[in-house]
């Protein structure tokens, strides 16, 4: 194939001399389904083993085989893991995107590509390393079936040589990746080694990029948000998971399948977690509502289209006060949108999901650690508040691999909430002389519930989505309706004290604040450093759940300017903040990206710098 | 007379019905009450489930001491799936309508039977939307006329045939005017381990009771063709067993033994139908459709197939009753797991 | 039966002498399904024929037969038609509610009730007229089958006698009600006449209430909002209506069935309107989206639960830019709620329906006249803007009968929007050298579409809910995604100029403003008169559609205090206003009722008076 | 060679496929192209409809000059209903998957066939969710194993049986490896006036092509039992007609004449199946299920029943083409109407 470049050729590469160590991004462009996932994982694991902080972003198409996919690995000695828009190194293995991939390199960048390709034009300001991929694989005498997939190991070997990863570490990483299985690991390693040696003999290193061992990853783990969510849920006492497959949420349930053995009854070998693949999302959410009503800790995981389909049922659960947990791993919408691209576009919709006056709790994890923590905590909250709890993660957080401290064991025992089992009901009735399902005995808006199966003649009550009074009896009376809604309102207020509170870095001397939530956190943290280096000091508040609390409002009001950074198009958190803040809030500036990609620090920095350096226009 | 649990029939009642006087659904509620009393159902273990419609309101009118869930329109099956999965000890009795099951809930209905969720699923089939005032449902017959909505020209859906094709393990049809049959079938259904579908023609006296409608009382009374005569013999009921058998001729009876040791004894009538044959069941229903026959009785019965909880290999202890230590692995487990991610 | 009253007996009725003419409310309490609908209609039609302005509110249960129902008829010489909380006259025909009905009467009120009943206690401060209902019917020799239903005519006759409605007018009204059919009309009239005469002979009128002929209804019509909507749609060129029954929207489609003959092809007797009863709301909305895509003017009508179920599909229509019209006749939610009670609780949900960044047009008719007008206009808007258009009416407006001027014939011809049929496409291509489905040729965000079936080799395009570029080709490129969303955003701006603009009564000298929308209008208008009489002059703005326009924002900013009156619990329009108004808006006060009943002027007046007479607390 | 419209086969192509090389769906797209070319379909009147899935992507890969609508998951049937109701002149060709039709879209599928919406409805059935990477679908066979998701223990849904029971008027099953049969059936389907269902086993080479899976190429090739040999004789094709008939023995052929004068000529094979008998069709499918037979061919054909547009008594002019004066009654009509409300 012939790679055609646009003609705006930059300055000739001038053999940059200053070495760049552990602070650049390597991007691998391949075709989907070609097996590059494995080689990329080997690369990232190797760097991790070298003690270098790493971040990974997988940009893949909605397709099973053949369309372009990009995997970028950021090494950052300073520990930044957000996406960078620019990659210094491109491993261009997909002829369909090679021209673009090369075009996107910065001056001084590096391109590794198959030797076999022909060229239209060349950029003169970058370095090329041409690699005989086919030959190398052929020489390795790999069984024909494996040849295609294994050819990705060629670039692993070349990169190892060029950027200084030891073969030993690669071997270890291969073993990790293949779950300790020697045979496939060694077959792959054979190709890596061959490529490594070929590169040593045939390539002259002229670029400045290099990895060097550090000690920043010891004791840390590498894991995806969805796996973390699955584990958190398993440690949270989940007993029912019902789901319908949808990208990018499927791997939450895959994680549950992978680790449910942790909860398998050791005596009988039977499962304590029911995993039901439903026929669609309406059924999935119906199942967890049925299960939650019966007393299970029940979860579903889905994405935007599924959320839309769940709207009616979620309203029922809200109004009938049934606990359940719904993970929304968001992708780009509206509509089917881009299933394999990230976004935070469901926020406002989740918050007000279902017709009528409804309002929901939405947890907003920002890290794999929080995915784990909110994984178990969501059940405690749902049971305590007797309501559906949403956890909004996103494709970036959920499907990419992230570095993290090991997860902390839940510091609190499982909280079943106000459930009256047989004896408790007995005790309750002897104390109060009565028990009514929807009566607010504790003035916190939260009533006591019983579970079906409770062997007590007064345990039963009637659950319905229609009007009811305190006694759970059908009622069309206006007063009953209003009283019930008032109690639900109070319950929501109680909830706002129980949900994860915002994380704040505040110093009264600073006049600029940044607010964000979810997976933007690393980009914001990095941007703050960049801004500070440029003389713009910022305070920071990260919202960890809806409804908003007074802290958030105070934070907004206490600044001269507050930037709301989020990854959707409409600036939905900004809108929610406006809904909650009646005071003049023209100093609140929406930085809403929504360009389908994970947030970058550079974008945030550029926006804030631009706006701070010139008078802010009213938005 | 108190039953085995020492309860009277009135203990199994619910709130007074607010349906139209004469509504077929009310007589089904009555049979449910009788069945539960006769079978000495422990009410605390019963859950009553429904969707939305006149029919779906009826769980309020029986077994007031049982938990109930009146869900959203057409989606009760998923609630049933979730609840019975969460707690395998629950006895689920669900009521739905032809609109609830055959229109908006059709997909859930089909997938429920496929999973063999253990429950009794009663369809109170009046061929019309009662609660929204008389629109056609998918079981309305081709050629049927309704006061306001005119003529139905679409073929009607046979929910029993649908259930059998879809994998149901107990499928019966009855007529709310045939109290004895309804009751016997309910008893058998509640003894069945798996999804038991009973499609009961239950006239809507307000919107669809004209004699030419085949979901009406007059039509049902005139045209019902029971496939069998029945006796239901509860588990452990030994004594009068012999006496009952005496009634039937050799070769004309079929004993269907249920999971819990109960039996339904069927005396075959005209059609000689053997409900253990899926092939026969399908054939007879197809014929009934073609010849417009109103066949009632146990249409299909399959030896207990694995129910959903078994497919999922769940613990014997209901998931809702697991002790806390089975709900959360140890700290040690977590630490080891974390190692594996390093 | 024995009617038990509470014991706080008020002062003894003192034979009030001042006559009250054409300014009181008569309430009839019966059982659902007992046939009282007919007698109530006869009463209201009689008053209408007498030239007296009337308003009617039907409060009915979610049940077919037997549960309590109340029908109140307000006569107002000043033309007010809003609900009043108080009825001066109670026709208590339902023993289950009689005690309460009597209790609710104001001192000096009147109770008409069957003679057959026994009494526990009596209120001394009201007037009782006891009527031998059974006897009267028995004496009328009515066929047994009809006796139950016809017994309602007894109170018609008694009321006619007591409050001065001539028998002649009743006869006319009966004929109207029975669509001109002599026989049933006369059978009923027989009972009315008998009761009328019995009352003349046996009752001594001691109350002050009386109807007197006026001339305020000449040339006016009586019609329900749902019927008006159906007619408007038929005059708007609707060709496909797909629906699933749900109270209170069913009568929209019933109206279409009743009047589709207006559109029947006179030559062939065939229909130009397809009416498909779908299997559920997901299918209903799918059908109209399919039809809208193919070029039909397609409508569905539903209520809250249906809206929830339509969420995913509506997002598709928004994103794929397909016109369709969705009427939401709102009822009380969340969840199944109270299907037979009114509310405006779906507003915010409609506005943002579906996951991802979506925003919709929502028309807000306030009268039967606007139901008709928005009926046809919604299609023009949907076709012009190529998007789903919601019309949010409510149970009160939709199912009750309202007085109105006759509907005006649409002043504009049907606007098909930017559709390129064969020749137009040809012309377009020769002008532009191209045609791309999603390209913004006119800088208004609205692109040109073709319809399937267009006989032109370049007419076809691919419609999808996934990412696409201007050429309607599948695209996962970030720029394509963002550009498309920007265009949709601009389209929404264009839309805000095309939708019905607010109606304003503004005078710079007044410092208090009231904002409302939809069926609250009559109550607000009446409240303004009450407030003005009390020295509180108000300006008024009625929002007729979302998105909000600058006019609305200016109105808010131009007042010292602005009250947002709405009939939901959360104050949803208030929240939307806050979202749009970054300036200090603490002077904006949410008056959100949401008590399941139509708004009253008295409630609004009381709220505003209370708040204006004391310093307003920040909400 | 140009067809009757003067178009080449390449004119009927679409964009290049982005499916996995070897995917069964691609060969079906090819047969659709051939069918359309052979039948000289006017592409501007064709609408291509689909839901979501690998299968549902395929309308992009054939007939690039036709309008297409790639809708939401499982809900294409309602789009088809709306579009064909709006414009009766459109020729709807829809592609769905087993997940799209058998799971999330099951209710819509059943109600579509009940209404007899005129269209060709192709199910590309691979017993798996391709696009979401290999989960079980409702047509996955009992006992089937998948790489990641293990063992399926639920009974599989037979979409042909479902369609017949549900009121479909043309039901066929085929195998994407049997190009000739697929093409013949497509031709017949597109000539049918009513809903034509073709359930085509279409292997997913990436997630479900192990030889023990009965949705795999190896299995299909080995086990396919065609019910008939076919010839499709388009309307107006007179000349070689006689010649073709010569091939078949007396009594062994069935001529199914289509609405537009086309015919399918079937030569009965082993099973002697007559597709005009609903009873036989149901029986043979029930047997196939029991005995795990992979029967292909035209299973059921009903003499054209009223299609939806007829049930709705719509004008002959497509609703989308009505002149403006038929869309809005006159001012006079409104004024008179208003009188009636006074
Ligand atoms: C999502 C939704 N759509 C529509 C309705 C309105 N609705 C209530 S009951 C009903 C039909 C009930 O018919 P059926 O199930 O046959 O019960 P029946 O009243 O005849 O016993 C409908 C359409 C609803 N409650 N929810
Ligand atoms: C509402 C919704 N839920 C889930 C998905 C994710 N999804 C996309 S395709 C698909 C399954 C497709 O399976 P099938 O119809 O058999 O098509 P195949 O890919 O096997 O051809 C699913 C679950 C979606 N797009 N929308
Ligand atoms: S409307 Fe029909 S179904 Fe409903 S309660 Fe009355 S008789 Fe029964
Ligand atoms: S995943 Fe399967 S169904 Fe999808 S394109 Fe690949 S082979 Fe075909
Ligand atoms: Mg019904
Ligand atoms: Mg599939």
φ, ψ (nearest 5 deg) of residue B64:
-65, -15
| Ligand 1 atom nearest A312 alpha carbon | 1
Mean pLDDT of D207-236: 92
Distance from the CA of A596 to the center of ligand 4, in angstroms?
A: 25
Per-residue pLDDT band for C393 (boundaries 50, 70, 90) equals very high
Checking if the pLDDT of D240 tops 90, the result is no
Q: Looking up tokens 């462009």, which residue turns up?
A: A29
Q: CA nearest B340 in A: which residue?
A: A221
Per-residue pLDDT band for A615 (boundaries 50, 70, 90) equals low
Mark yes or no for CB contact B132/C254 under 8 Å: no
B318 in Cβ contact with B89 (< 8 Å): yes
Checking if the pLDDT of C617 tops 90, the result is no
User: Within a domain: residue A595?
Assistant: yes
Per-residue pLDDT band for D254 (boundaries 50, 70, 90) equals confident
Checking if the pLDDT of B322 tops 50, the result is yes
Checking if the pLDDT of D103 tops 70, the result is yes
Q: Could you say which of A221, A313, A461 has the minimum Cβ distance to residue B342?
A: A221
Buried b (16+ CB within 10 A) or exposed e, A24-51: bbbbbbbbbbbbbbbbbbbbbbbbbbbe
Q: Which residues contact A86 (CB under 8 A, 6 or more apart)?
A: A25, A104, A106
Mean pLDDT of C189-193: 96
Q: Do residue A516 and residue A492 come from a single domain?
A: no
pLDDT tens digits, one per residue of B59-81:
999 999 999 999 999 999 999 99
B20 and chain C in contact, CB less than 8 A:
yes
A271 and chain D in contact, CB less than 8 A:
no
Look at A161-165, C435-439, D210-214 and tell me which has the smallest mean pLDDT.
Answer: D210-214
CATH topology of domain D9-308: Rossmann fold (3.40.50)
Q: Looking up tokens 């006749």, which residue turns up?
A: C329
pLDDT tens digits, one per residue of A226-247:
999 999 999 999 999 999 999 9
User: Within a domain: residue A415?
Assistant: no
Q: Do residue A518 and residue A553 come from a single domain?
A: yes
Distance CA D219, CA A495 (A): 57
Q: Do residue C247 and residue C136 come from a single domain?
A: no
User: Within a domain: residue A219?
Assistant: no
pLDDT tens digits, one per residue of D62-72:
999 999 999 99
Q: In the structure encoding, which two tokens stand for residue B24, read together?
A: 């077929």
Per-residue pLDDT band for D249 (boundaries 50, 70, 90) equals low
Counted domains in chain A: 4
Residue C489 domain boundaries = 422-498
User: Within a domain: residue C411?
Assistant: no
Beta strand pairing call for B135-136 and B128-129? antiparallel
Query: Which ligand lies nearest the alpha carbon of A280?
Result: 2
Examine the fold and report which residue of C210, C241, C263 is the final residue of a domain before the chain moves on.
Answer: C210
Q: Do residue C391 and residue C434 come from a single domain?
A: no
Mark yes or no for CB contact D103/A246 under 8 Å: no
Cβ contacts from B onto D, under 8 A: 71
| Ligand 4 atom nearest D24 alpha carbon | 8
Average pLDDT of every residue of chain C: 95
User: Within a domain: residue C416?
Assistant: no
C541 in Cβ contact with C514 (< 8 Å): yes
Mark yes or no for CB contact D278/B287 under 8 Å: no
Mean pLDDT of D1-21: 96
Mutate to test the interface with A, among D56, D72, D127, D204 (most CBs of A within 10 A): D72
Distances from the Cα of A76 to the Cα of A23, A51, A84, B176, angstroms: 5, 11, 11, 74
ipTM for the predicted complex comes to: 0.97
Per-residue pLDDT band for B335 (boundaries 50, 70, 90) equals very high
* Amino acid B251: pLDDT: 66
Distance from CA of C289 to the nearest CA of B (A): 19
Distance CA C450, CA C437 (A): 8
Checking if the pLDDT of C14 tops 90, the result is no
Checking if the pLDDT of D245 tops 60, the result is no
* Amino acid C121: pLDDT: 75
Q: In the structure encoding, which two tokens stand for residue C275, read together?
A: 């009416």
Checking if the pLDDT of C594 tops 80, the result is yes
Examine the fold and report which residue of A371, A404, A437 is the final residue of a domain before the chain moves on.
Answer: A404
Q: Do residue A587 and residue A509 come from a single domain?
A: yes
Per-residue pLDDT band for B97 (boundaries 50, 70, 90) equals very high
- Pocket of ligand 1, candidates C33, C245, C309: which has the most ligand atoms within 8 Å of its Cβ, to mutate? C245
Q: Do residue A41 and residue A135 come from a single domain?
A: yes
User: Within a domain: residue A417?
Assistant: no
CA B21 from centroid of its chain's CA atoms: 23
* Amino acid C619: pLDDT: 45
Checking if the pLDDT of B235 tops 90, the result is no
The SS3 of residue C612 is helix
Per-residue pLDDT band for C142 (boundaries 50, 70, 90) equals confident
Q: Do residue C564 and residue C477 come from a single domain?
A: no
* Amino acid A175: pLDDT: 94
Mean pLDDT of C178-206: 95
Average pLDDT of every residue of chain D: 93
Checking if the pLDDT of C10 tops 50, the result is no
Per-residue pLDDT band for D174 (boundaries 50, 70, 90) equals very high
Query: Which ligand lies nearest the alpha carbon of C309?
Result: 1
pLDDT tens digits, one per residue of D312-337:
999 999 999 999 999 999 999 999 99
Q: Do residue C494 and residue C595 come from a single domain?
A: no
* Amino acid C11: pLDDT: 55
Mark yes or no for CB contact D43/C460 under 8 Å: yes
Average pLDDT of every residue of chain A: 95
D28 and chain A in contact, CB less than 8 A:
no
Checking if the pLDDT of D187 tops 80, the result is yes
Q: Which residues contact A54 (CB under 8 A, 6 or more apart)?
A: A44, A47, A48, A73, A74, A75, A76, A81, A217, A222, A403
pLDDT tens digits, one per residue of B120-169:
999 999 999 999 999 999 999 999 999 889 999 999 999 999 999 999 99
Mark yes or no for CB contact A460/B68 under 8 Å: yes
Ligand 2 site, residue D131, Cβ cutoff 6 A: yes
Distance from the CA of B14 to the center of ligand 5, in angstroms?
A: 22
Per-residue pLDDT band for D244 (boundaries 50, 70, 90) equals very low
Q: Do residue A553 and residue A483 come from a single domain?
A: no
Longest alpha-carbon distance in chain A = 88
Mean pLDDT of A94-122: 92
Tally of CA atoms within 13 A in the half-sphere of B289 that contains its CB: 24
Per-residue pLDDT band for C8 (boundaries 50, 70, 90) equals very low
* Amino acid A4: pLDDT: 61
Q: Is B260 left (phi over 0), alpha (psi -120 to 50) or beta?
A: alpha
User: What proportion of chain C, given as a percentage, has pLDDT over 90?
Assistant: 92
Q: In the structure encoding, which two tokens stand for residue C122, read together?
A: 């009596």
Mark yes or no for CB contact A279/D148 under 8 Å: no
User: What proportion of chain D, given as a percentage, has pLDDT over 70?
Assistant: 95
Tally of CA atoms within 13 A in the half-sphere of B46 that contains its CB: 25
Mark yes or no for CB contact A410/B328 under 8 Å: yes
Distances from the Cα of A276 to the Cα of A242, A299, A539, D40, angstroms: 5, 11, 45, 47
Residues of chain D with CATH 3.40.50.970: 9-308
Checking if the pLDDT of A7 tops 50, the result is no
Chain D residues within 8 A of C474 when measuring between CB atoms: 60
Per-residue pLDDT band for A143 (boundaries 50, 70, 90) equals confident
Q: Which chains touch D (3 or more CB pairs under 8 A)?
A: A, B, C
Q: Which residues contact A440 (CB under 8 A, 6 or more apart)?
A: A446, A447, A487, A490
Checking if the pLDDT of D243 tops 70, the result is no
Q: Which chains touch C (3 or more CB pairs under 8 A)?
A: A, B, D
Distance CA A283, CA D256 (A): 41
User: Within a domain: residue C413?
Assistant: no
Q: Do residue C13 and residue C93 come from a single domain?
A: yes
Q: Could you say which of A62, A355, A579 has the minimum Cβ distance to residue C334?
A: A355
pLDDT tens digits, one per residue of C257-280:
999 999 999 999 999 999 999 999
Mark yes or no for CB contact D314/C270 under 8 Å: yes
CATH, residue A383: 3.40.50.970
User: Within a domain: residue A217?
Assistant: no
Specify the DSSP class assigned to residue D141: P
Distance from CA of C220 to the nearest CA of A (A): 33
Mean pLDDT of C324-352: 98
* Amino acid A122: pLDDT: 82
Reduced 3-state DSSP string for chain B: CCCCCCCCHHHHECCCCCCCCCCHHHHHHHHHHHHHHHCCCCHHHEEEEECCCHHHHHHHHECCCCEEEECCCCCHHHHHHHHHHHCCCCEEEEEEEHHHHHHHCHHHHHHHHHHCCCEEEEEEECCEECCCCCEECCCCCCCCEECCCEECCCCCCCHHHHHHHHCCCEEEEEECCCHHHHHHHHHHHHHCCCEEEEEEECCECCCECCCCCCCCHHHHHHHEEECEEEEEECCCCCCCHHHHHHCCCCCCEEEEECCCCCEEEEEECCCCCCCCCHHHHHHHHHHHHHHCCEEEEEEEECCCCCCHHHHCCECCCCHHHCCHHHHCCCHHHHHHHHHHCC
Q: Which chains touch B (3 or more CB pairs under 8 A)?
A: A, C, D
Examine the fold and report which residue of C210, C236, C260 is the final residue of a domain before the chain moves on.
Answer: C210
* Amino acid D218: pLDDT: 95
Checking if the pLDDT of D239 tops 50, the result is no
Helix, strand, coil % over all residues of chain A, rounded to 5: 40, 20, 40
Mean pLDDT of C72-95: 97
Distance CA A521, CA A618 (A): 26
Distance from the CA of D204 to the center of ligand 4, in angstroms?
A: 5
Average pLDDT of every residue of chain B: 93
Q: In the structure encoding, which two tokens stand for residue B67, read together?
A: 């938990």
Checking if the pLDDT of B269 tops 90, the result is no
* Amino acid C37: pLDDT: 92
Query: Which ligand lies nearest the alpha carbon of D205?
Result: 4
Q: Could you say which of C33, C64, C279 has the minimum Cβ distance to residue B104?
A: C279
pLDDT tens digits, one per residue of A376-423:
999 999 999 999 999 999 999 999 999 999 999 999 999 999 999 999
Per-residue pLDDT band for B250 (boundaries 50, 70, 90) equals low
Checking if the pLDDT of D248 tops 80, the result is no
pLDDT tens digits, one per residue of A194-230:
999 999 999 999 999 999 999 999 999 999 999 999 9
CATH, residue C518: 3.40.50.920
Q: Do residue C184 and residue C232 come from a single domain?
A: no
Mean pLDDT of C497-525: 98
Ligand 2 site, residue A245, Cβ cutoff 6 A: yes
φ, ψ (nearest 5 deg) of residue A294:
-75, -10
Q: Do residue C490 and residue C508 come from a single domain?
A: no
pLDDT tens digits, one per residue of C428-462:
999 999 999 999 999 999 999 999 999 999 999 99
Give the predicted TM-score (pTM) of the model.
0.97
Residues forming beta bridges with residue A122, ordered by sequence position = none
B200 in Cβ contact with B123 (< 8 Å): yes
Mean pLDDT of D218-238: 87
| Ligand 1 atom nearest B124 alpha carbon | 21
Per-residue pLDDT band for D303 (boundaries 50, 70, 90) equals confident
């Amino acid at each position: 194939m012939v790679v055609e470049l646009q003609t705006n050729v930059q300055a000739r590469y001038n053999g940059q001399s200053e070495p760049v160590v552990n602070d650049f991004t390597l991007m691998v462009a391949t075709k989907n389904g070609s097996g590059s996932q494995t080689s990329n994982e080997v690369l990232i694991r190797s760097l991790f083993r070298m003690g270098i902080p790493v971040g990974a972003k997988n940009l893949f198409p909605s397709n099973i085989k053949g369309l372009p996919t990009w995997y970028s690995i950021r090494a950052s000695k300073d520990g930044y893991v957000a996406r960078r828009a620019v990659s210094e190194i491109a491993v261009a293995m997909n002829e369909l995107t090679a021209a673009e991939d090369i075009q996107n390199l910065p001056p001084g960048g590096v391109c590794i590509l198959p030797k076999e390709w022909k060229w239209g034009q060349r950029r003169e300001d970058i370095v090329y390393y041409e690699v005989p991929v086919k030959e190398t694989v052929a020489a390795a005498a790999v069984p024909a079936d494996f040849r295609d997939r294994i050819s990705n190991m060629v670039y692993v070997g070349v990169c190892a040589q060029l950027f200084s990863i030891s073969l030993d570490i690669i071997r270890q990483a291969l073993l990790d990746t293949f779950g300790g299985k020697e045979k496939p690991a060694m077959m792959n390693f054979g190709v890596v080694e061959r490529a490594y040696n070929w590169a040593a003999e045939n390539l002259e290193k002229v670029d400045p990029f290099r990895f060097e061992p550090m000690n920043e990853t010891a004791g840390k783990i590498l894991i995806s948000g969805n796996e973390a969510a699955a584990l958190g849920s398993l440690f949270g006492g989940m007993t029912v998971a019902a789901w319908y497959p949808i990208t990018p949420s499927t791997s939450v349930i895959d994680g549950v399948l992978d680790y449910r053995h942790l909860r398998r009854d050791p005596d009988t070998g039977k499962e304590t977690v029911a995993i039901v693949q439903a026929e669609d999302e309406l059924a999935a959410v119906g199942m967890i509502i049925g299960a939650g009503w019966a007393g299970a800790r029940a979860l579903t995981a889905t994405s935007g289209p599924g959320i839309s389909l769940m709207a009616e049922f979620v309203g029922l659960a809200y109004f009938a006060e049934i606990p359940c947990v719904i993970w929304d791993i968001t992708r780009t919408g509206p509509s089917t949108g881009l299933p394999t691209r990230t976004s935070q576009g469901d926020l406002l919709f989740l918050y007000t999901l279902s017709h009528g006056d409804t309002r929901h709790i939405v947890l907003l994890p920002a890290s794999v650690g929080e995915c784990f923590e909110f994984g178990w905590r969501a059940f405690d909250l749902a049971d305590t508040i007797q309501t559906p709890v949403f956890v909004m993660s996103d494709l970036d957080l959920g499907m990419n691999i992230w570095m993290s401290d090991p997860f902390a064991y839940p510091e609190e025992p499982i909280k079943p909430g106000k459930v009256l089992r047989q004896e408790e009901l007995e005790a309750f009735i002897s104390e109060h002389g009565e028990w009514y399902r929807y009566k607010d005995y504790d003035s916190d808006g939260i009533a006591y519930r019983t579970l079906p199966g409770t062997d007590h003649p007064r345990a039963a009550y009637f659950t319905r989505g229609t009007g009811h009074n305190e006694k759970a009896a059908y009622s069309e009376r206006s007063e009953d309706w209003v009283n019930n809604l008032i109690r639900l309102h109070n319950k929501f207020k109680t909830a706002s004290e129980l949900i994860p509170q915002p994380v704040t870095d505040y110093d009264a001397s600073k006049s600029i604040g940044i607010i964000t939530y979810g997976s933007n956190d690393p980009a914001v943290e990095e941007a703050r450093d960049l801004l500070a280096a440029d003389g713009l000091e910022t305070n920071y508040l990260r919202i960890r759940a809806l409804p908003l609390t007074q802290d958030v409002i105070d934070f907004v009001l206490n600044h001269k300017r507050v930037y709301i950074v989020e990854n959707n198009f409409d600036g939905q958190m900004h809108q929610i903040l406006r809904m909650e803040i009646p005071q003049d809030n023209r100093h609140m500036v929406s930085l809403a990206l929504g360009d389908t990609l994970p947030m970058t620090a550079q974008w945030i920095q550029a926006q804030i710098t631009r706006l701070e350096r010139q008078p802010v226009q009213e938005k | 007379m108190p039953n085995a649990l020492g309860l009277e029939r009135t203990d199994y009642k619910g709130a007074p019905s607010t349906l139209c006087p004469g509504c077929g659904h009310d007589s089904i509620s009555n049979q449910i009450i009788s069945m539960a009393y006769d079978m000495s159902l422990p009410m605390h273990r019963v859950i009553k489930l429904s969707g939305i419609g006149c029919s779906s309101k009826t769980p309020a009118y029986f077994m007031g001491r049982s938990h109930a869930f009146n869900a959203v329109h057409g989606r009760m099956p998923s609630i049933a799936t979730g609840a019975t999965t969460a707690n395998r000890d629950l006895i689920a009795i669900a009521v739905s309508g032809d609109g609830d099951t055959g229109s908006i809930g059709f997909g859930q209905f089909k997938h429920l039977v496929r999973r063999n969720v253990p429950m009794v699923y009663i369809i109170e089939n009046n061929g019309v939307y009662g609660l929204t005032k008389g629109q056609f449902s998918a079981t309305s017959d081709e050629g049927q006329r309704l006061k306001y909505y005119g003529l139905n020209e679409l073929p009607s859906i046979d929910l029993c045939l649908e259930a059998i094709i879809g994998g149901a393990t107990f499928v019966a049809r009855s007529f709310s005017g045939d109290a004895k049959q309804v009751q016997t079938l309910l008893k058998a259904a509640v003894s069945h381990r798996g999804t038991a579908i009973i499609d009961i023609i239950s006239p809507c006296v307000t919107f669809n009771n004209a004699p030419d409608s085949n979901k009406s009382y007059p039509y049902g009374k005139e045209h019902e063709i029971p496939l069998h005569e029945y006796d239901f013999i509860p588990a452990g009921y030994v004594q009068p067993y012999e006496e009952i058998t005496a009634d039937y001729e050799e070769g004309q009876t079929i004993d269907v033994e249920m999971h819990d040791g109960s039996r339904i004894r069927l005396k075959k009538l005209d059609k000689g139908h053997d409900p253990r044959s899926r092939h026969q069941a399908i054939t007879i229903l197809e014929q009934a459709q073609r010849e417009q026959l109103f066949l009632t009785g146990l249409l299909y019965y399959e030896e207990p197939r694995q129910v959903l909880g078994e497919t999922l290999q769940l613990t014997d202890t209901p998931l809702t009753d697991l002790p806390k230590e089975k709900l959360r692995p140890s700290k040690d487990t977590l630490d080891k797991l974390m190692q594996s991610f390093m």
